[in-house]
């Protein structure tokens, strides 16, 4: 089972949880979730973000 969702869909979690619980746990592939990731502020950093571009201390939780 593969679930790829975008921000314009509504996912009903209850039926999804029931379906996942009924399936065997073999063959699942899980990824990494980044949470409380600091925003790189150092100039010269590949992913440098100024406070004007992104005015928060950390990035929101996101999958890698």
In a domain, 16, yes or no: no
CA 7 – CA 56 distance, rounded (Å): 21
In a domain, 41, yes or no: yes
In a domain, 21, yes or no: no
Express each pLDDT in 14-56 by its tens digit: 998 888 888 877 776 677 888 899 999 999 999 999 999 999 9
| pLDDT given at position 28 | 67
Within 8 A by CB and 6+ apart from 31, the residues are 63, 64
Into how many domains does the chain fold? 1
pTM score, whole prediction: 0.47
Question: Structural domain of residue 46, as residue ranges?
Answer: 26-63
């Amino acid at each position: 089972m593969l679930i790829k969702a975008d921000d314009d869909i509504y996912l009903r979690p209850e039926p999804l949880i029931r379906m996942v619980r009924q399936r065997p746990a073999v063959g699942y592939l899980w990824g990494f979730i980044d949470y409380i990731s600091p925003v790189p502020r150092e100039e010269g950093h590949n992913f440098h973000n100024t406070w004007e571009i992104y005015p928060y201390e950390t990035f929101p939780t996101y999958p890698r």
